Amino acid sequence: MRLVFAICTAVATAFLALPVLAIFVRVPPGTLLGQLGEPAARDALVVTLKTNLVAQALVLVVGTPAAYTLATRRFRGRSVVLTLVELPLVLPPAVAGIGLFAAFGRTGLLPTSAAFTQTAVVLAVAFVASPFYVRTAVAAFEGVDRTLVDAARTLGARPWRVFARVALPLAGAGLGAGAVLAFARGLGEFGATIMFAGSLQGVTQTLPLAVYAEFARDFDVALALGALLVAFSFSLLLAVKWIRLEAFAWMQPFRSASSSSA
């Protein structure tokens, strides 16, 4: 049985790793780095970082209080709200793009001129990435020891102070992991962005859109951009694992103290 399981593990790992390794094997590293100097690559990198950082800030500022509310309050319709929060996780990207266009286009429910601008990129990235943060944040806040929160309230701390000084630090590791996952998802966003923002070089063309555009023009540039995204994603996933390990070690004293007091 061990041999069969080992073979299955090796096959699965090889299948998942081979396309990633092929990006770096097909073209030498020096050539890949050289291709990143192309105007399309530079413009796509700037647009990607700019829009993703703005979208990430919006997700954190709005999503953190929302996640805390969903984690600490029980109200009628809570399951419906959670389902709506999670829906973009399974929604086809093209449908998400059409929905954003129907909501925020010139003739949408909330008419704006955001379509085919960097604002549209920010909205698309925030829409598809926010569930990764909010859902992880809800789980992080639910995992906070309620006795510590209740003790702070008993000592007279106001709700905002309890949130900022007790709940937020204790859930910080989970929030960090969720933020990294959301940022990684935003970096790879393609479908909703191209539907709602288009692919205008230097304006709305992000790295994934640039890979698609360069695939038909210069395969080496497409490989270079793909390698950059792979490096980003790999680093972010490692960061999530490191954050979780650090969080586990950091929370041990609090868990021990809580168990002793119980």
- Tens of pLDDT, residue by residue over 91-140, are 998 999 999 999 999 988 999 999 999 999 999 999 999 999 999 999 99
Distance of alpha carbon 154 from alpha carbon 147, whole angstroms: 10
* pLDDT recorded at residue 262: 46
| CATH class label, 38-255 | mainly alpha
- What are the extents of the domains in the chain? 38-255
* CB of 199 closer than 8 Å to CB of 212: yes
pTM of the complete model: 0.84
The candidate with the shortest Cα–Cα distance to 121, out of 66, 58, 175, 180, is: 58
* pLDDT recorded at residue 250: 53
Burial label for 71, CB within 10 Å (0-12, 13-18, 19+), is middle
**H helix or E strand, kind and range, residue 101:** helix 93-104
Q: What CA–CA distances, in Å, run from 101 to 91, 105, 107?
A: 15, 5, 9
102: left (phi over 0), alpha (psi -120 to 50) or beta: alpha
